[in-house]
Structure 1
Amino acid sequence: MDRRTTPFSGRVAHVSLRDLVAAPLTEGEPARVVVPLADLRAAPDGARDRQLLMGEAVTVIDRDRGHAFVISEKDGYCGWLAESTLGDGPEPTHWVMAPATHLYEAPSVQAREMVSLSLGSRVAVKGAWGAWASTDFGYVPVAHLHPVGQWAPDPVLVAESLLGTPYLWGGNSRFGIDCSGLVQVALYAAGMACPGDSDMQMAMGRGLGAEEQPKRGDLVFWKGHVALVVNQDLLIHANGHTMSVSYEGIREAVARISANGGGLVQARQRV
């Protein structure tokens, strides 16, 4: 069983694993991320696997040393979050469609910003004061929000809005992102389900034959890497070559990655 998608902390398991593991079972407790960004780790205080954004829902399976073992609702990814990042936040009504925004202490451009939120964060809007939306955590510009269910029309445009974002292994935000994080953020903003890591993403969609021309939105996979096709000649990806989200010619990327020991393209998928 893949530990990333197996809801078993090593001590306690989700009821979905009945008869599969010898451990106490639980249905878990619902919770939400109540901070701008939370690292989802392989173990308490361990290495980061992925990140969850404000408003994302989880099911808590176990608790240990100030951390909670959770299942992420959006993709089933399992891991440990600091307990301080979780709470009983309200059901989100809106999501951040701008690359990033701030939560302000008052509905004014002169007000002090409290924290920054990344594209994809979710908030519950309680009311509006002109150009400002009120939430339990502060005020957000209405222009930076879309209602949940009103998704972006093109995942590639979402990825392009994150051009220049610094590369961060396991990152899922405007403040740092990796290749599979960029694909997941882009597809999720377009209302499409998407797993968290590139090897999982390789199983999505329809595999393309060698004779089929690349189309906008296709995914191109190497071992441990994924990129989005912009057009027949260009792709966009978060990469360690530029340490950022950047454009690269498809032929140039294939040649460069191969020359640097990254191997050949393993798959092309049309989502």
Structure 2
Amino acid sequence: MSVYAICPFTVVPIRTNAAHRSEMGSQLLFGEMVEVMETKGRQWTKVRCLNDDYIGWTPSSQLRDLSPAETQDFRRNFAYSLDLFHNLMGTDEALPITLGSRLPYFDGMRFSLGTQDFTFSGQAVFPEDIRQSSAMVIKIARKLLNAPFLWGGRTVFGIDSPALVQLAFQIAGYQLPRTAEIQVNRGETVDFVEQAMPGDIAFFENNQGRITHSGILLPDSKIIHVYEKARIDAIDHYGIFNYQEGKYTHRLRVVKRIFAPDKNLPPVVIQKVEGQPLNQQALF
């Protein structure tokens, strides 16, 4: 019989190995649930994230076990926090949570987790009330502008590019995998970059041809992604152009579409960045 647990803290690291010095590949946000796959002593638990199947190791002390009934209830009944940062108010203490955290069995003002009762006065949305749209994706992504880059991060205090894409689509009603190289398998391919629309996902490759980066297309040949920080840069047929550095930083591989185009959004209008060489191989 499977055993499940929930994240009862603001954010918990998920590491590639059972050691604090190990690389952090992702994070759990408050209220997110995992399946317990293995334990190593009393300190470490190998988990599979229920929202995206990501597998890694977390400190056992930073998880709370769930009963089978709680697991079923919390998977169906929750709300997403829409605030970048907001305090949950408990009986004797406050607990900060971030954008995308889950409020289990939230009634619009209160919820309980085990023996703890919380009040939440911020903005929240129930999954059943979400209308999937590219406009919602872009609105959520823009909330994270200027969040610093952090490999494996998923919050305003540190985030990577696939996490920004994942979080924006998740709150807009569509669950994507955690990494860019798996995200690229979702959605429909946009055959010609000129046909790209706001809210489409652009994927980028490294020198070995591996997909390592993703971002969300915006109107007027712009893209929101994470490079040193969550930022908006120019994009054309070749890739992302950073005007501060005066160079292309990411080579475009493919554009994928998850949601139908939003007619209320102006077009992307991909155009070549002015004044750049035509030799694509010399750009990176």
Report the TM-score when normalising by structure 1.
Answer: 0.77
1:211 Cα deviation after fit: 5.2
1:145 is the counterpart of 2:124: yes
1:187 is the counterpart of 2:169: yes
Describe the superposition over 1:131-186 as per-residue Cα deviations: whole angstroms up to 9, x where unpaired.
Answer: x4344353211x42222432364111110111121211111112211100000100
Distance (Å, rounded) in 2 between the aligned partners of 1:260 and 1:245: 18
Distance (Å, rounded) in 2 between the aligned partners of 1:44 and 1:185: 26
Matched-pair contact (CA < 8 Å) for 1:30–1:60: yes
Indicate how the Cα distance of structure 1 residues 259 and 203 shifts in structure 2: closer, same or farther if over 3 A, else same.
Answer: farther
Indicate how the Cα distance of structure 1 residues 67 and 253 shifts in structure 2: closer, same or farther if over 3 A, else same.
Answer: same
Paired AA for residue 189 in structure 1? I
1:57-72 to 2 correspondences below 5 Å? 57-65=33-41, 66-72=43-49
Distance (Å, rounded) in 2 between the aligned partners of 1:236 and 1:173: 16
Indicate how the Cα distance of structure 1 residues 263 and 270 shifts in structure 2: closer, same or farther if over 3 A, else same.
Answer: same
1:105 is the counterpart of 2:87: no
Matched with 1:237 is: 225
2:57 aligns with one of 80, 94, 101: 80
Matched-pair contact (CA < 8 Å) for 1:184–1:195: yes
Paired AA for residue 206 in structure 1? E
Distance (Å, rounded) in 2 between the aligned partners of 1:60 and 1:39: 15
Matched-pair contact (CA < 8 Å) for 1:170–1:177: yes
Distance (Å, rounded) in 1 between the aligned partners of 2:106 and 2:199: 35
Distance (Å, rounded) in 1 between the aligned partners of 2:64 and 2:225: 33
Matched with 1:14 is: none
Matched-pair contact (CA < 8 Å) for 1:222–1:262: no
Distance (Å, rounded) in 1 between the aligned partners of 2:101 and 2:87: 11
Matched-pair contact (CA < 8 Å) for 2:85–2:96: yes
1:22-101 to 2 correspondences below 5 Å? 27-45=1-19, 46-65=22-41, 66-88=43-65, 90=70, 91=74, 92-101=77-86
Paired AA for residue 16 in structure 2? A
Distance (Å, rounded) in 2 between the aligned partners of 1:126 and 1:255: 43
Describe the superposition over 1:187-228 as per-residue Cα deviations: whole angstroms up to 9, x where unpaired.
Answer: 110110200001111111111223533211111111211110
Paired AA for residue 265 in structure 1? L
Secondary structure in structure 2 of the residue aligned to 1:247: strand
Paired AA for residue 85 in structure 2? A
Matched-pair contact (CA < 8 Å) for 2:233–2:241: no
Distance (Å, rounded) in 1 between the aligned partners of 2:220 and 2:187: 19
Query: Any unmatched runs of 5+ in structure 2?
Result: 206-211, 259-284
Matched-pair contact (CA < 8 Å) for 1:101–1:144: no
Between 1:157-166 and 1:244-253, the stretch displaced more is 244-253
Cα-Cα RMSD: 2.6
Paired AA for residue 171 in structure 1? G
1:200 aligns with one of 179, 182, 186: 182
1:247 is the counterpart of 2:235: no
Matched with 2:253 is: 266
Indicate how the Cα distance of structure 1 residues 113 and 166 shifts in structure 2: closer, same or farther if over 3 A, else same.
Answer: farther
Matched-pair contact (CA < 8 Å) for 1:68–1:82: yes
Report the TM-score when normalising by structure 2.
Answer: 0.74
1:259 Cα deviation after fit: 7.9
Paired AA for residue 254 in structure 1? I
Indicate how the Cα distance of structure 1 residues 173 and 133 shifts in structure 2: closer, same or farther if over 3 A, else same.
Answer: same
Secondary structure in structure 2 of the residue aligned to 1:212: helix
Matched-pair contact (CA < 8 Å) for 2:165–2:215: yes
1:88 Cα deviation after fit: 3.4
